[in-house]
Amino acid sequence: MFKKIIKIAVSFSKLERYIFLGALVIFAVAAMFWLINFYDDVTRLAPQRGGHYTEGIVGQPTSLNPLIAGATDADRDLLELFFDDLYELADKIEVSDDKETWIVTLKSGLYWSDGEPLTTADVSFTLETIQNPDTQSPAFSTWQGVVAQRVSDREIHFSLKNPYVFFVDNLRNLKIAPRHIFGNVPPSNLRLSNYNLEPVGSGPYKFISLEKEKSGFIREYLLDTNDYYGGNRPFIETFKVVFFASENAAIQSFNRRDIDGLGGLSPQRLDDLKIGHQTLNINMPRYYAIFINQSTNPALKERAVRLALAAATDKAEVVSTIFDNQAIAVDGPIPTIVDGYSSDINNGGQVLEDIKSSLDRAGWKLNEDGIREKTIDKRQVKLEFVLQIPQVDFLIEASEIIAAQWAEVGVKINTIILSATEVNDVIRNRNYSLLLFGNTLRGNPDIFSFWHSSERFYPGLNLSIYNNKSVDSLLEGIRQDFNVESRKNKIVRLQELIRQDQPAIFLFSPNYIYVANKDLSGFSPSIMVLASDRFKNVESWFLKTSRVLKK
């Protein structure tokens, strides 16, 4: 056939040969493109196993034992890599008809990273140890009143004193500890075990080694895929975690390409990244607010004053100036990303003149210093308050902007910056008039611990010392209402009541910022309650791809 084509081509004139060769080239190029398109049509890019990833973390791990860990972000980050929670270990979760018993059935064939079986005996041991006061577990209060009963190696029942619709989130946060490692250790001695830093876990990765400086500073952890992991095997084979004493040191390491990923970055520091990267923004169910202790100042007891302070706070300016719009303005006790959020409580839109008029009508008149004052119980009271703030840069900057905004309506703010120790003391004693602080929700609308009157005093988290019987009733009802529509109505009403009372000035919810090299794919947490939740789907992260036939 080719001889005939050549023979015909030889018989062509010079011009005809050029035309013929051109046609052949066009045909070859068209055939090549057709083959490429055909290949693309019948194949797809798929993650491929392999590669090494290095995560940078600012801080130090202190314990990687689920029974006592949780004091630092570094602890929680590593726990997520080394240990699965009970929700992830479960094959099935059911609720009894009376809603007071939760039945958990584990997946079959679960093992610890050392090859020992993982059963409900480990679950029962974990719960009993957390509930023991001698353990001093951070999860102690969460699990009080819950009774666990083993039915078999795979089935365990949790009995509650009262129905609790959000109990599944407790299961999501319960990391199981290995009984065969810690079962013979007295609770008071748990912190002395070497396994606190060299864990035997159930998560996607297993401990290989750690490097520690002579000073005691842990420099890095080396992890490998856990052959006994009960979920999908991670695509990234080896995982290293490197620790830094400061954000500056971590950024410099990222710029040198010594680490591949870094989380919790401040928006202002993004400009300090000098190499190509991807930036991932995730909103979290947390918010910052100015909590009002009405008992310290008669002016703060007046609802008109609290409403005026809220209206005078331009949150959009704060979000834009400090966070470069990488945060969300918050108008109430439930952030926008949490189920049940009601947009009807938005209190924005008031102009300064209306706010001034409302204060005038309430009897608050400007004095010669530009500060509003009023006679209460024969005593001259000024709208001058002390705002206490943790020593956190973005909170200090926010307070400066808010002080300037409030000054425009005749309110003066004096600020006190608190160290971490001072913050704890102030909160413990409720020794403040105004406190700029944050609340972190668990991804659900259960805000009982932040606003119920029983939580007004330490160790409760009701920082506004808020007391409203109608709100208490709703908070209690929301926890026990398994009817979705009925519960939603209660949540909306709850937000309305808190908005009307204005026990706090709700401000903003910063995004969690994670930066990584451009090779990383598969990072897609649906919601992050804690920073460590970025590793919830770490087994889906991948660095390499290959083409496979479409099914």
Domain holding 410, by residue range, is 286-511
Tell me the two tokens of residue 161: 């004193």
- For CA atoms 519, 524, 528, 530, the dihedral sign is negative
Do 263 and 371 belong together in one domain? Answer: no
**CATH (domain of 356):** 3.10.105.10
Packing angle between helix 469-480 and helix 484-501, nearest 10 degrees? Answer: 160
Evaluate whether 385 touches 297 at the Cβ level (below 8 Å): yes
For residue 454, is pLDDT > 80? yes
Task: Tell me the pLDDT band of 268, cut-offs 50, 70 and 90.
Answer: confident
For residue 35, is pLDDT > 70? no
Do 8 and 152 belong together in one domain? Answer: no
Rounded to whole angstroms, how far apart are CA atoms 206 and 115? 11
pLDDT of residue 435: 98
pLDDT of residue 208: 98
Q: Which long-range contacts (CB under 8 A, 24 or more apart) does 181-186 make?
A: 182/65, 182/67, 182/125, 182/129, 183/125, 186/134
Do 313 and 263 belong together in one domain? Answer: no
Average pLDDT, the chain: 92
Do 109 and 11 belong together in one domain? Answer: no
Antiparallel, parallel or unpaired: β 238-244 and 379-382: unpaired
Give 464-497 pLDDT, tens digit per residue.
Answer: 999 999 999 999 999 999 999 999 999 999 999 9
- Radius of gyration (C-alpha) of the chain in whole angstroms: 30
Residue 69 to residues 64, 119, 148, 216, 243: CA-CA distances in angstroms? 6, 21, 21, 18, 17
Give 36-78 pLDDT, tens digit per residue.
Answer: 565 556 556 678 999 999 999 999 999 999 999 877 899 999 9
Region 141-166 average pLDDT: 96
Instruction: Tally the C-alpha atoms within 13 A of residue 549's C-alpha that lie toward its C-beta.
Output: 1
**CATH (domain of 93):** 3.40.190.10
pLDDT of residue 27: 67
Which are the contacts of 286, defined by CB distance < 8 A and separation ≥ 6?
335, 438, 439, 440, 441, 509, 510
For residue 506, is pLDDT > 90? yes
Do 133 and 22 belong together in one domain? Answer: no
Do 78 and 37 belong together in one domain? Answer: no
For residue 5, is pLDDT > 60? no
Do 312 and 458 belong together in one domain? Answer: yes
Rounded to whole angstroms, how far apart are CA atoms 454 and 457? 8
Do 246 and 394 belong together in one domain? Answer: no
CA of residue 362 relative to chain centroid, distance: 41
Region 264-291 average pLDDT: 93
Do 315 and 460 belong together in one domain? Answer: yes
Of 355-359, 467-471, 503-507, give the lowest mean pLDDT range: 355-359
Region 400-415 average pLDDT: 97
Q: Where are the alpha helices (DSSP H) in 362-468?
A: 393-407, 420-429, 448-451
pLDDT of residue 46: 78
For residue 12, is pLDDT > 90? no
Give 316-337 pLDDT, tens digit per residue.
Answer: 999 999 998 899 999 999 998 8
Do 9 and 57 belong together in one domain? Answer: no
Residue at which a domain ends, from 28, 47, 66: 47
CA proximity to 160, closest of 215, 111, 99: 99
Do 247 and 266 belong together in one domain? Answer: yes
Evaluate whether 261 touches 53 at the Cβ level (below 8 Å): yes
Give 92-132 pLDDT, tens digit per residue.
Answer: 999 999 999 999 999 999 999 999 999 999 999 999 999 99
Number of domains into which the chain is organized? 3
For residue 408, is pLDDT > 90? yes
Residue 417's φ and ψ, nearest 5 degrees, are -90, 130
The dihedral formed by the CA atoms of 128, 134, 140 and 145, expressed in degrees to the nearest 10: 50
Evaluate whether 72 touches 62 at the Cβ level (below 8 Å): yes
Task: Tell me the pLDDT band of 426, cut-offs 50, 70 and 90.
Answer: very high
pLDDT of residue 524: 81
Rounded to whole angstroms, how far apart are CA atoms 377 and 529? 46
For residue 370, is pLDDT > 70? yes
For residue 275, is pLDDT > 80? yes
Rounded to whole angstroms, how far apart are CA atoms 303 and 464? 14
Region 166-194 average pLDDT: 94
pLDDT of residue 346: 60
pLDDT of residue 71: 74
Do 138 and 60 belong together in one domain? Answer: yes
pLDDT of residue 352: 87
